[in-house]
Amino acid sequence: MPKSWSGSRMDLHIDLDAAGGRRVGLQSALRKAIRQGRLAAGTLLPSTRGLAAELGLSRGTVTAAYDQLVAEGYLTTRPGSGTTVADMPPNTMPPESAAPAATGPRHDLRPGLPDVSTFPVRAWLAATRRVLADSRPEMFGAGDPQGRIELRTAVADYLGRTRGVITTPDRIVITSGYYQGLCLLSRVLAADGARTVAVEDPSHNLFRAVVQRAGLTTPALPVDAHGACVDALTQSIDAVLLTPSHQYPTGVPLHPGRRQAVCAWSRSSGGLVIEDDYDGEYRYDRQPVGALQGIAPDRTVYCGTASKTLGPALRLAWMALPPQLVNPIVEAKKQADLYTETLSQLVLADFITTHAYDRHIRAARLRYRRRRELLLEHAATVAGLTAHGVPAGLHTLLTVSSDWPPEQEILTVCAQHGLALRGLAELYVDPSARPAGLLVGFAAPPEHAYRAALNALFKTVLKLVSDLE
């Protein structure tokens, strides 16, 4: 039967079958755990006295089992150092126990990823220390499904002064990323009788799929040089999902006239505007365009995230909601995962209120602006490449000439050279409007590797073009 012990220096779990004798059963259980890799080389085992007490065996039985496994080469023992798992030869473990080595692209130029090598470790550590120094017992208990009031207050203030969002802490809900927030919202809308959510075309197909999985249809909303063509919205559409500050993937902001038009549509039809402000902090030629939500706060759901500013691993995002949606979203959050991890919320709240967040974003703007300019300089040297979008965000769209190789061939060749980026055509719903293009993220590579990444990309692209001539 399975045995575990907790009084030893470490916790272990083995399947001890004493049918053939206790010593033999213990030997078999330990031998199996070592072969399967559950007891790794160098693992210190409990003392014979401690293990005997925990398993209800005699010390002599445990000593005999250890001695046998030492003789077989599974264990090693040194006076005063205890008994440890031996360093087994590579072919000792069965093939299925070996985990494949994690590999990634040599140069990550995918859109929407920040440079996580610049995560503000020292400032985050200082904020963590302040939070823990002032900790109260309730901080380590069950959390609030709506999110910690400290973070909701900090976010409401931050959004008001930097993005023009009109909200209060009681209208903020903290989620484990924008993905979860959109999942919750889609479910709530569907449960309330909504049937259609218009989505920009092109747009992020992952988020389009989120809306569809809730049972909602997603009519395509065309995009041109002025952003989403909101005049195509009808009275029968229940909501619209927009990226107004920096359309994904074309990189254009929603024209001021269209901002007013979509708010007028919302008021007249009762439709909801869902604003994905995924990288609204990053504008390089002027002050960032304010959020659409500030024009119609009672008809707009504003969604923001820390994944583009600090890093996706934090799993922290926020929604500024119209009053009537707060309770349904909080209830949906309870059903999804009850609440978002608490300590990170409190640290981020401190990070925002001490303005360390602002300082980090300002430094990132300078760094990303230089990177974008360098990308455009390289692109300008290649005939057939055209850059699109305003100076903003974490990526640039480069469309390619019609006489170039197919988009998928370009991506495949780039991948063979260790370059990860994304194509444009796959983001379109309408097959007749699928221009070939490359979405090049300029933020993810570490600073020391960025020039090498660009050189590798454009060397690969130029080789492809020259092979056509």
At residue 56, the 3 state secondary structure works out as coil
User: What is the pLDDT, as a whole number, of residue 428?
Assistant: 95
User: What is the pLDDT, as a whole number, of residue 72?
Assistant: 82
Sign of torsion, CA 107 109 112 114? positive
At residue 106, the 3 state secondary structure works out as coil
Element (H, E) at 205: helix 205-213
Tokens at residue 416, please?
Answer: 């063979």
d(CA 92, CA 41) in angstroms, rounded, equals 12
Nearest Cα to 145, choosing from 395, 337, 400, 315? 337
Q: What is the pLDDT along the chain (469 residues), one digit of tens a residue?
A: 455 444 445 566 777 777 778 888 888 888 888 888 888 888 888 888 888 888 888 888 888 888 888 888 899 887 777 888 988 765 444 444 445 555 678 999 999 999 999 999 999 999 999 999 999 999 999 999 999 999 999 999 999 999 999 999 999 999 999 999 999 999 999 999 999 999 999 999 999 999 999 999 999 999 999 999 999 999 999 999 999 999 999 999 999 999 999 999 999 999 999 999 999 999 999 888 899 999 999 999 999 999 999 999 999 999 999 999 999 999 999 999 999 999 999 999 999 999 999 999 999 999 999 999 999 999 999 989 999 999 999 999 999 998 898 999 999 999 999 999 999 999 999 877 788 899 999 999 999 999 999 999 999 999 887 776 5
Q: How many residues does the chain have?
A: 469
CA dihedral 356, 157, 298, 179 (to 10 degrees): 30
Neighbours of 89 (CB within 10 A): 8
Q: Where in the chain is the domain with CATH 3.90.1150.10?
A: 359-468
Contacts of 318 (CB under 8 A, 6+ apart): 147, 151, 152, 155, 159, 172, 173, 174, 175, 181, 303, 304, 305
DSSP one-letter string for 279-344:
TTT-BSSSSPPPPGGGT-TTTEEEEEESTTTT-GGG--EEEE--HHHHHHHHHHHHHHHSS--HHH
Contacts of 152 (CB under 8 A, 6+ apart): 146, 169, 170, 172, 174, 318
d(CA 217, CA 220) in angstroms, rounded, equals 10
Tokens at residue 308, please?
Answer: 């583009």
Region of residue 107 (phi > 0: left; psi between -120 and 50: alpha; otherwise: beta): beta
User: What is the pLDDT, as a whole number, of residue 5?
Assistant: 42
CB 110 within 8 A of CB 411: no
User: What is the pLDDT, as a whole number, of residue 98?
Assistant: 47
User: What is the pLDDT, as a whole number, of residue 308?
Assistant: 96
CATH 1.10.3720.10 for the 2-97 domain, yes or no: no
Tokens at residue 7, please?
Answer: 């009084």
CA dihedral 341, 119, 357, 307 (to 10 degrees): -50
What pairs with residue 392 in β-bridges? Answer: 283
Contacts of 6 (CB under 8 A, 6+ apart): 54
How open is the CA angle 197-161-312, to the nearest 5 degrees? 55
Question: Amino acid identity of 440?
Answer: V
Asked whether the bond before 391 is cis by omega within 30 degrees of 0, the reply is no
Beta-carbon-side half-sphere exposure of residue 343 (alpha carbons within 13 Å): 11
At residue 423, the 3 state secondary structure works out as strand
Q: What is the CATH number of domain 119-356?
A: 3.40.640.10
Q: How far apart are the first and last CA of the chain?
A: 72
Beta-carbon-side half-sphere exposure of residue 451 (alpha carbons within 13 Å): 2
User: What is the pLDDT, as a whole number, of residue 97?
Assistant: 46
CA dihedral 161, 165, 171, 175 (to 10 degrees): -90
Q: Where in the chain is the domain with CATH 1.10.10.10?
A: 2-97
d(CA 450, CA 106) in angstroms, rounded, equals 11
d(CA 146, CA 329) in angstroms, rounded, equals 8
CB 357 within 8 A of CB 158: yes
Question: Angle of helix 356-379 relative to helix 450-468, nearest 10 degrees?
Answer: 30
Contacts of 145 (CB under 8 A, 6+ apart): 330, 331, 333, 334, 338, 339
CB 201 within 8 A of CB 429: yes
Nearest Cα to 51, choosing from 66, 37, 38? 66
d(CA 189, CA 216) in angstroms, rounded, equals 9
Question: Amino acid identity of 184?
Answer: L
Tokens at residue 227, please?
Answer: 């952003």
CATH: 3.30.590.20, 3.30.465.10, 3.90.1150.10, 3.40.50.150. Which one for 359-468?
Answer: 3.90.1150.10
Q: Where in the chain is the domain with CATH 3.40.640.10?
A: 119-356
Over residues 104-159, the pLDDT tens digits come to 789 999 999 999 999 999 999 999 999 999 999 999 999 999 999 999 999 999 99
Q: In the block, which residue shows the tokens 């002027």?
A: 286
